[in-house]
Amino acid sequence: MRPLSAERALLEARLPGFDGRLAALGIDGAEDPDNEVIEEFRRAGGGNLFVPRELGGAGLGCHDGVRLQRAVGSRAPALAVATTMHHYKVAWLAAALGADAAGVLRGIAEKNLLVASCGAEGQVGRSLFAPGIRVAAADGGLTVSGTKRPCSLTRSMGLLSLTATAPDGTAPDGRLLMLVIPADAPGIRREPFWRNRVLRATQTDAVVLDEVFVPQSMIIPIGDPALSPGRFTSNLLWFQLLITASYLGVATGQVEELYTAGRGTPGDRVAALAPLETVAAALEALAREVDGGRCDDDLLGRSLLVRHTAQRAIAEATDRALELAGGMPFVTGSQGVDALAASRGLAFHPPSEISAREPLDTWLGGGGLTLT
């Protein structure tokens, strides 16, 4: 067994030649914010991987998705994180909204579009499904205004997706909607936002919407979370599993370098890799249950426990990898430090471990799981 051999074989099968391209770039090249790696991914058909086959995509399931994101993360951390924002939304549209989203999904496949996901991350105390966008009724649709920050894929997105509440006096009154907006729609502009040197290649900045019109054909009713909880559980499940796999890949790539360079003792290398492989096995087990049609609070709760365990395993493994790599690489370059810092990003995606502790404790004590 070689670390990541199965994951990279899957990436090669789905996007022939792309793993080799990432390997040739190296992490420094892949993480350069001026590179074209996201555009190369899009041209290679990467945005269509989770679109159902009958709608023109590859029809990947969650298990393959977890493996693929781990492979990408090991070569290009920013690409893995940025494309997760596309993949989970596409997978969720297909899995939870079905025929209502078929037209949008077919368009994504036909035009090779990437979807930027507008959620509420970065807003303490805000609902996961309410990004703070103002919505008003308009002839033939809705208008939306507000600012989404941060938002990944700002330069490469073909579509911007966001959730919003239907305004009073419109159908379905007060229910949540999925709005899908062309990236070149009048009233959309980008503004600089990301200042950290780590993960700059995610194209993460601010998107400002000023009275942007959304036609009725690009509005997908989601429903009331209390009446259709499975749809919202599905959204969170896909995101948690794919984003965890992406950061797990970042850490695994760093430990892989120990094997390539022969750094540390056999015990050192095994101790660094074993917790990552354990988390990967847990992620794959959960993903198989998603592929089998399971979607409930218990599965979501377990996915959060695995994610939080992954955060600690990643921290331990990357700390060890940086130390074992030696002092000269630390002195002469920042790649190891940057990768370590990038791997820590998992802690900042919603819901944070701190915010989830009380809901998880209630659930583990026999109650329901309620995340806000």
Asked if pLDDT for residue 168 goes beyond 90, the answer is no
Asked if pLDDT for residue 306 goes beyond 70, the answer is yes
Cα–Cα distance measured from residue 339 to residue 69, given in angstroms and rounded to the nearest whole number: 16
**What confidence category does residue 370 fall into, taking pLDDT thresholds of 50, 70 and 90?**
confident
The percent helix, strand, coil of the chain (3-state, each to 5) is 55, 15, 30
Cα–Cα distance measured from residue 200 to residue 193, given in angstroms and rounded to the nearest whole number: 10
Q: Is 159 in a helix, a strand, or coil? A: strand
Mean pLDDT score of the chain, rounded to an integer? 90
Residue scoring higher pLDDT (161 or 336):
161
Asked if pLDDT for residue 196 goes beyond 50, the answer is yes
* Of 119-133, 250-264, 326-340, minimum mean pLDDT range: 119-133
Dihedral sign, Cα of residue 95, residue 354, residue 126, residue 116: negative
pLDDT score, position 226:
65
pLDDT score, position 105:
95
pLDDT score, position 98:
82
**Nearest partner of 49 among 36, 30, 62, judged by Cα:** 62
Asked if pLDDT for residue 120 goes beyond 60, the answer is no
Mean pLDDT for 2-19 is 95
- Nearest 5 degrees, angle CA 96-CA 102-CA 103? 140
Using one digit for the tens of pLDDT, what is the confidence trace for 20-29? 999 999 999 9
Domain with CATH 2.40.110.10 in the chain: 116-223
Range among 24-28, 156-160, 169-173, 351-355 with highest mean pLDDT value: 156-160
pLDDT score, position 169:
72
Asked if pLDDT for residue 132 goes beyond 70, the answer is no
Mean pLDDT for 47-71 is 97
pLDDT score, position 126:
45
Asked if pLDDT for residue 347 goes beyond 70, the answer is yes
Q: Is 17 in a helix, a strand, or coil? A: coil
**What confidence category does residue 229 fall into, taking pLDDT thresholds of 50, 70 and 90?**
confident
Domain with CATH 1.10.540.10 in the chain: 5-113
Look up residue 359 and give its two tokens: 């809901």
Reported CATH class of domain 116-223? mainly beta
Asked if pLDDT for residue 280 goes beyond 90, the answer is yes
Mean pLDDT for 249-267 is 94
Neighbour tally for 158: CB within 10 Å: 19
pLDDT score, position 123:
42
Asked if pLDDT for residue 52 goes beyond 80, the answer is yes
Helix H, strand E, coil C: the string for 229-292 is HHHHHHHHHHHHHHHHHHHHHHHHHHHHHHHHHCCCCHHHHHHHHHHHHHHHHHHHHHHHHHHC
Query: Distance of CA 18 to CAs 72, 83, 155, Å?
Result: 9, 14, 21
Beta bridge partners of 189: 208
Q: How many residues does the chain have?
A: 372
pLDDT score, position 133:
80
Mean pLDDT for 242-253 is 98
Mean pLDDT for 112-121 is 78
In CATH, which of 1.10.3720.10, 1.10.540.10, 3.90.550.10, 3.30.70.270 is domain 5-113? 1.10.540.10
**Nearest partner of 204 among 214, 217, 195, judged by Cα:** 195
Asked if pLDDT for residue 124 goes beyond 60, the answer is no
pLDDT score, position 174:
64
Q: What proportion of the chain, given as a percentage, has pLDDT over 90?
A: 75
pLDDT score, position 336:
75
Mean pLDDT for 52-60 is 96
In CATH, which of 3.50.50.60, 3.40.50.2300, 1.20.140.10, 3.30.70.270 is domain 229-364? 1.20.140.10
**What confidence category does residue 255 fall into, taking pLDDT thresholds of 50, 70 and 90?**
very high
Using one digit for the tens of pLDDT, what is the confidence trace for 71-105? 999 999 999 999 999 999 999 999 988 888 999 99
Asked if pLDDT for residue 331 goes beyond 60, the answer is yes
Domain with CATH 1.20.140.10 in the chain: 229-364
Alpha-carbon Rg for the chain, nearest whole angstrom, is 20
Q: What proportion of the chain, given as a percentage, has pLDDT over 70?
A: 91
pLDDT score, position 54:
96
